[in-house]
Amino acid sequence: MRVAIGIEYAGNAFQGWQTQSHGRTVQDVVERALTQIAQEPVKLICAGRTDTGVHATMQVAHFDTDARRPLEAWVRGVNSHLPTSVAVLWAVAVDDEFHARFSAEARRYRYVLLNRRIRPGLLNGRVGWTHGPLDEEAMAAAAGCLVGKHDFTSFRAAECQAKSPVRVMHSVVVRRQGDIVLFDFHANAFLHHMIRNLVGSLVFIGKGRRPVEWMGELLAERNRTLAAPTFSPDGLYLCGVDYPPRWSLPDGGRIIAAPQLLLP
């Protein structure tokens, strides 16, 4: 049978999602826990690989198994074998046509940025941080040009392996809640470091170091060296994946399940 699972994790406890020889990745620990319940090797396929330090309130993955277990065993049973920084939230039986990556219609990310004079203590590793005032209205205006189908070469990591730099950005929302500035991105897919590079350039604009029009110019130039440096991974969260309703995933895979303290 094929099972889809929703997973949340604190990315600063792991060295990324994708399995590594040292075994200290999210994929490694979840596969080991699944293997304990299935009593056979289990291989996970996820919707989107996250880098070291990047968190997830809703990562979606699937696996195939010959083991017959109640769905609750793939949740509470698996969680009993996981470290406290990662948890399976739900499990759903799906047909063989479901693929966590290729069936996904879009992904949602949120960047949580603390904007105050003093660095974070309680939220260290869970939020980005910049001191000095930010103009969220200027950043929101600059983000508007990102919506639509564009070549995002200027915001693509040099080691990105995607065949094409073209992505469709459905929406970008920038808003402030007290000392927290939230950046919400919704697109069909993202390039390696794309969001962190976008946030870095938006912060330049928010600080008045560049005009609002600069964002559109960067898109047109298609030159990574012209954009701002890559921003910290600390505040980046994968917040869900959009799937067609035929597979009946909880909220279509889009739940934002993290505490409101971090994601107001």
Q: pLDDT tens, 173-195? A: 999 999 999 999 999 999 999 99
228 and 172 share a domain?
A: yes
Q: Counting every residue, how long is the chain?
A: 264
Is the model's pLDDT at 261 over the cut of 80? Answer: no
State the pLDDT at residue 259.
Answer: 45
- Classify residue 52: in a domain, yes or no: yes
The Cβ of residue 173 has, within 10 Å, a number of other Cβ atoms equal to: 12
68 and 12 share a domain?
A: yes
29 and 133 share a domain?
A: no
The Cα 7–Cα 43 span in angstroms is: 15
Least trusted range by pLDDT, from 48-52, 155-159, 176-180, 253-257: 253-257
220 and 192 share a domain?
A: yes
143 and 205 share a domain?
A: yes
State the pLDDT at residue 93.
Answer: 95
Q: Which residues contact 260 (CB under 8 A, 6 or more apart)?
A: none
Provide the whole-model pTM.
Answer: 0.93
pLDDT in tens, 81-96: 999 999 999 999 999 9
Segment 143-163 mean pLDDT: 95
Higher pLDDT, 9 or 258: 9
Domain boundary among 103, 133, 162: 103
Confidence of residue 127 (pLDDT cuts 50, 70, 90): very high
Average pLDDT, the chain: 93
Q: Do residues 199 and 111 make contact, with C-beta atoms less than 8 angstroms apart? A: yes
The CATH number linked to 170 is 3.30.70.660
- Classify residue 208: in a domain, yes or no: yes
28 and 55 share a domain?
A: yes
120 and 228 share a domain?
A: yes
Q: Which residues contact 230 (CB under 8 A, 6 or more apart)?
A: 157, 193, 196, 197, 200
- Classify residue 197: in a domain, yes or no: yes
- CA geometry: angle 17, 21, 27, nearest 5 deg: 25
- Classify residue 30: in a domain, yes or no: yes
Which helix (H) or strand (E) covers residue 77, if one does?
helix 76-79
Domain that holds residue 94: 2-103
- Classify residue 35: in a domain, yes or no: yes
Q: Do residues 46 and 59 make contact, with C-beta atoms less than 8 angstroms apart? A: yes
Domain boundary among 103, 126, 161: 103
Count of the separate structural domains present in the chain: 2
Segment 141-169 mean pLDDT: 95
Segment 143-157 mean pLDDT: 97
221 and 112 share a domain?
A: yes
97 and 32 share a domain?
A: yes
Confidence of residue 253 (pLDDT cuts 50, 70, 90): low
Phi, psi of 91 (to 5 degrees): -140, 135
CA distance readout (Å), 212 to 73, 132, 138, 143, 158: 51, 18, 6, 9, 25
Domain boundary among 103, 131, 160: 103
221 and 138 share a domain?
A: yes
Is the model's pLDDT at 112 over the cut of 80? Answer: yes
- Classify residue 249: in a domain, yes or no: no
Give the active site residue among 28, 51, 135, 184. Answer: 51
State the pLDDT at residue 255.
Answer: 55
- Classify residue 261: in a domain, yes or no: no
- DSSP codes, 17-34: SS--TT--SHHHHHHHHH
State the pLDDT at residue 264.
Answer: 47
118 and 225 share a domain?
A: yes
Is 28 an annotated catalytic residue?
no
- Classify residue 202: in a domain, yes or no: yes
72 and 159 share a domain?
A: no
